[in-house]
A and B are shown apart, each in its own frame.
Chain A
């Protein structure tokens, strides 16, 4: 029990210490150096503590007790060249403060993804093997600055806002961490040929979501003279932070077809998470120095160039997708193992984040509907598949070499509602490699990986829900990701 307490003490802070890996959508690519080094093709291998994530059934065949941890380090090197413009029938373009035409980078940040777990054979329920682990099945983190009146030559809108300390420094941001604390149990059936494992997850979701909406000036109806270009739209920055709890179930089977061939099937069924928290709003109001309007009126509010801030509570439902996967591994030679995984994630369930706001504070007295609107961006994602191929070569008792790669479909591949927060641009390809050093009972791992995304050019603003705000972010999108995973394992 001592080791159980020790493990909980180590794993809990690790899981809560944010981390960021991703596969399609906002799914984590995985964990552990062996699995990541093999490109994620690990379901039919599943022979270390990370099987809790890939295939809980693998625990049944692990003979020794294990304690392990891994740390993924990532850098998303994404680029967007915004083309956030309206285009008239003669091809003339006009925008509202987004730095169009400039290559904009996501904020520099070395992201970390800690994970850990242990496996122990306990003297009850026969040969059942138990494990406790903490990791992040869903994860996304990107942060952008896109709005710049001085870079888009639109000081006219409100020169006072340039460099104003109340204007947020980031405008599009998602920092989503869904951490799972999983209790895993697995045992063998059919005289060692088949194993089944299940993992019960307690999920904790932490969401930080920032969005910028370029909203239609609500005074256009009443007083069109003050709602002309460039004051026809008002930027609203929405910044929401909250958290919630939920449950998930992961199950798998591992069939040893022959001495060399393994077959695996897994399923993951997370329940929706309800996230609650607080929202901060910032509005850069139009500044029209020469406009003549009634003092203390709605028009006055929309010409004096104030930077308005307000707060509210929010609640949103994070709809997490189910996933099904198959895997096969083959011990080609005494030293070489080849593994192949295929997975299918039901991303069509995810519909974007829709916020229900309440308990508004300090909302201006005029145009209250404008200041209290939910600006959710609905998305229309497709289910996505992934194929991974991995190699593991036992060079000698001290060193194991790993190599792998994957093809990963994007759930947004048919969508025109791309936004900077979720940049999954299409089928991405990864190449991974590294090794594990075995010293007595210790395993030290290091792998690195590179993810290549197709370039995407998106043109034309859309408003699919017809709420007066744009639901996409047109521009030229480029992305690549560098990943390094370190691991430490102890067998006893």
Chain B
């Protein structure tokens, strides 16, 4: 018996030594990118002239809709070897076409795709304006006629359709599926507004919308908050900026601040800039410019060179209607864009929705409210967002009251019977969000949301 016990103990000792000594490695399993390992990810090429939608857009003499894209290798194969969904992301105010790539879109998309968390998709990123505070993806001459760009006219891009984004993208990436169930749109800040605007204007075009806090209800939950709460901030911002300017004296005497004369578009005043962009978008003085678009060709040596010029035939101005016979409105700003290069020689002026005291100026505010999502939704009639999955990223510290405006719009949609997904997140140390601190994480959630919505 004792011998057996000793033998058994010996076996146990050997087993313990053997089991205790095998190599387990480190256990870390990296995501294998496979064919995406050296894939560039960023396609800077999908910037294209959109005529006439962008012919009169400020600082855009080439009528270019600036964009970039993430596309997987199979996106451009002809004939297509795979079918791919399409996601359109709109940059916020001051965001360029690389806004989402700066936050890591390329690497994120490759990693999420390789790990199976998202399906392969084409992600087109549209630029916003970086000079005048963003154009809200609206529909005016100086801001660009984005309603027209998003509105599919059914004419194939290769057959002459020249201001149809979806036709263009389906042409550029043949593998993308021309089904609304495989199309999503999203955005942050003004991009959030633009995404909902495009979806409301074009029911059935997109099956999913993802947004992070933005100006989604101009007058806020109370009807007198939202952007209205920022009017005073603009006045303060302008006065403070003016006071810091050393050239505001004449013969040693200070020149009093004149709101209409000294109103400035300096980038150091972000709130003012946002309202300048919004005014170009919603309350430009020129509501419609009739013009001729003339292409001149000159033979230089053996090379033909082309240039474009605009001949204005007629202009319809807000000021004329507010003050019949011509004249000025209370808040017309004429000092920002004069007849120089940013506007093809046109003096494209705009009306602010508030006066020098920060008081709401109703005639102009009405123009803005016509573009408010609630008003647009109701004007569209029916349920323009029916069948659309909606995802919101919200943060109570979002800038400029975006959080309250977003929640107000969410409340409205819920009241209309929609189910919404919400991704709530807080700031580091509870600081206000000023620099897209969470974009990387929000973007990841957005991609996963859309991928899930696209289905198999």
Contacts and interface: CB of A to CB of B under 8 A. Distances in A.
Contact of A225 (B111, B112, B115, B435): B435
Contact of A289 (B101, B426, B436): B101
A150 interface: yes
Given A90-B424, A153-B115, A229-B438, A482 B24 contact: no
A144 B26 CA distance: 8
B27 A92 contact: no
A156 B30 contact: no
A104 B13 contact: no
Contacts of B425: 88, 90, 92
Interface size on A, as a range, is: 35 or more
B30 to A, nearest CB: 4
Contacts of A105: 24-27
A159 interface: yes
Nearest to A153: B111
Given A92-B425, A433-B9, A482-B17, A155 B111 contact: yes
Contacts of B441: 92, 94, 229
Contact of A228 (B25, B424, B435): B435
Contact of A448 (B17, B25, B26, B30): B17
A103 B435 contact: no
B27 A150 contact: no
Nearest to A288: B102
Nearest to B98: A290
A75 interface: yes
Contacts of A162: 30
A90 B25 CA distance: 36
A4 interface: no
Interface in B402-456: 423-428, 434-441
Given A107-B26, A289-B102, A230 B440 contact: yes
Contacts of B437: 224, 228-229, 232
Contacts of A225: 435-436
Nearest to B100: A290
Contact of A148 (B2, B19, B28): B28
Given A102-B29, A153-B115, A90 B440 contact: no
A403 to B, nearest CB: 9
B16 interface: yes
Interface string A265-308: 00000000000000000000000111100000000000000000
Contacts of A289: 101-102
A330 interface: no
Given A90-B424, A229-B437, A433-B9, A108 B24 contact: yes
A224 B438 CA distance: 12
A155 B25 contact: no
A142 interface: no
B27 A156 contact: no
Given A290-B98, A448-B13, A151 B436 contact: no
B296 interface: no
Interface in B1-26: 2, 6, 9, 12-13, 16-17, 19-21, 23-26
A482 B16 contact: yes
A224 B428 CA distance: 12
A228 B21 CA distance: 44
B27 A104 contact: yes
A160 to B, nearest CB: 11
A219 to B, nearest CB: 12
Given A156-B107, A448-B16, A484-B13, A228 B27 contact: no
B363 interface: no
B440 A228 contact: yes
A484 B13 CA distance: 8
B98 to A, nearest CB: 5
A240 B108 CA distance: 35
A89 interface: yes
A330 B424 CA distance: 67
A155 to B, nearest CB: 4
Interface of B: 2, 6, 9, 12-13, 16-17, 19-21, 23-31, 98, 101-104, 107-108, 110-112, 115, 423-428, 434-441
9 contacts: A77-B20, A88-B427, A90-B425, A108-B25, A110-B21, A153-B115, A229-B441, A291-B102, A448-B17
Interface of A: 73, 75, 77, 79, 88-90, 92, 94, 99, 102-105, 107-108, 110, 144-146, 148, 150-151, 153, 155-156, 159, 162, 224-225, 228-230, 232, 288-291, 395, 401, 433-435, 446, 448, 450, 482, 484
